[in-house]
Structure 1
Amino acid sequence: MIAAVDLVVPVKPLHAAKTRLRGAADGGLGEPAAHARLALALAHDTVAAVRGCPAVRHLLVVSSDPVVAAELGAVGVEVVPDGPVSGLNAAYRRGAALLRGRDPEAVVGALQADLPALRPEELCGALGAAATLFAEGVAGRAFVADADTTGTTLLLAAPGTPLDPRFGAGSAAAHRESGAVALTGGWPGLRRDVDTSDDLRGAADLGLGAHTTGVLDRSSTP
């Protein structure tokens, strides 16, 4: 297993995050506060799984949302604001640059913030698989495709290799074409990112983390 990996997790401002999930936390009403609670819960459960994986040395969240900074900072997570360039890939590049500035030989990774069914052992398994590829010189970058096989939930770069994130529509193909190797383990919770209500139901079938479960239980209480 990789001895130490530094991970970057960007979190959008809650009012703008996960827009296709609006209404999932309050029976379709789409009330902003309820939606923000769900978006924050997804991030909380992702972060909790990351912190449970002993192969992760440092977790850096990139977010300019003050609620995200306060909530995750309260549980001991380092949060830095977005830089002058907006967008998901810019947030990943900023985080990776900060981490590599502290340790130029670090393994760095980019993880999505909407993985409420992620288990620490799944993340550790993927990190271990990447470690094997890096040690054998097979590739300098590796990624995990999402459940639909078109997106990316995790991207890793070996020591001395730029992260070069290419998240967005068709990111799995973009990462593959850029030279990253797809990791082939099962890891259903790591692959089940949540963009839609159907995705959320799929994550629920795997078993949601405590924060997301709490928000959805609250929405179903009369």
Structure 2
Amino acid sequence: MCIEGEIATNTDPTGLWSLVVPLKPLAQGKSRLTRAAGVMLRPRLALAFAQDTVAAALSCRAVRDVVVVTDDPVAAAALAALGARTVPDEPAAGLNAALVHGERAVRDRRPAAAVAALNADLPALRPAELARVLDFAAEFPRAFVTDATGIGTTFLSATSGVELRPAFGGPSRARHLSSGAVEITSAGIDSVRQDVDTGDDLRAAVRLGVGPHTADRWAAGVPARDR
């Protein structure tokens, strides 16, 4: 590992990134969507968000592989079918512990891997926009993207030899800035910023253009007046 502030050299011969995507058990995730989607649709939407996020990530030219950290067997099977590697959330100690566990799962196999954490609720994610973010991130030891509110974080990267040091949750933008990570403020990365916690967030993502799993669930499960 290099010390924060040193120039990191990516010694991974592929030059590609491994992404770590954490996902709560579906029955527990996205509780703030209940009002907009209802109790039955909410976990199905949570899975659809993750499917569209992982599918887009795997289609990105800069991504080598995706590791999903989850204890949900249904989600694990669905995301593995898309080509992700799934690992159980053995720490079971919250989001940041899950990300560190996923980082370790990547680097146990490829010690020199460049690793990035990506939220599982980016249903409008576009591979080209993610590639733009990863290309920028490759120039710095650690970098991050704030969410659409400017408060949280949707993406955090660590180049080869650098620890991820995630500090997600609540006002994580401020924590990642204070930790020395560089904020990525490039234009044209709205789909990387638009996570979904509420009905308003989902409608914003739909306007951007969500992936097929989310589009199908949203169209089938929510009355037109509520979309």
Give TM-score, length-normalised by structure 2: 0.89
The answer to whether 1:10 aligns with 2:22 is: yes
The answer to whether 1:31 aligns with 2:43 is: no
Which residue type is aligned with residue 49 of structure 2?
A: L
Could you tell me which runs of 5 or more consecutive residues in structure 2 were left unpaired when the two chains were aligned. 1-13
The answer to whether 1:51 aligns with 2:58 is: yes
Indicate which of 73, 77, 83 corresponds to 1:76.
83
Paired with 1:84 and 1:180, the residues of 2 have a C-alpha distance of: 25
Q: Which residue is equivalent to 1:147?
A: 148
Which residue type is aligned with residue 192 of structure 2?
A: L
Which residue type is aligned with residue 9 of structure 1?
A: V
| Aligned alpha-carbon RMSD (Å) | 1.4
| Other structure's SS at 1:90 match | helix
The answer to whether 1:207 aligns with 2:209 is: yes
Paired with 1:120 and 1:23, the residues of 2 have a C-alpha distance of: 30
Moved over 2 A (4+): none
The answer to whether the Cα contact below 8 Å between 1:23 and 1:35 also exists between their aligned partners in 2 is: no
Paired with 1:106 and 1:66, the residues of 2 have a C-alpha distance of: 27
The answer to whether 1:20 aligns with 2:32 is: yes
Paired with 2:30 and 2:207, the residues of 1 have a C-alpha distance of: 20
Which residue type is aligned with residue 67 of structure 2?
A: L
The answer to whether 1:94 aligns with 2:94 is: no
Paired with 1:158 and 1:221, the residues of 2 have a C-alpha distance of: 44
Q: Which residue is equivalent to 1:167?
A: 168
Q: Which residue is equivalent to 2:127?
A: 120
The answer to whether the Cα contact below 8 Å between 2:91 and 2:101 also exists between their aligned partners in 1 is: no
Give TM-score, length-normalised by structure 1: 0.91
Paired with 1:220 and 1:173, the residues of 2 have a C-alpha distance of: 35
- Listed one character per residue, the Cα deviations across residues 160-206 of structure 1 (whole Å, up to 9, x for unaligned) are 11000000011011001001000111200100000111111111111
- Listed one character per residue, the Cα deviations across residues 127-154 of structure 1 (whole Å, up to 9, x for unaligned) are 00111x23xxxxx100011111111100
Identity of aligned residues (%): 51
The answer to whether the Cα contact below 8 Å between 2:54 and 2:82 also exists between their aligned partners in 1 is: no
Which residue type is aligned with residue 41 of structure 1?
A: A
Q: Which residue is equivalent to 1:197?
A: 199
- Displacement after TM superposition at 1:24 (Å): 2.8
- Displacement after TM superposition at 1:23 (Å): 4.0
- Displacement after TM superposition at 1:73 (Å): 1.5
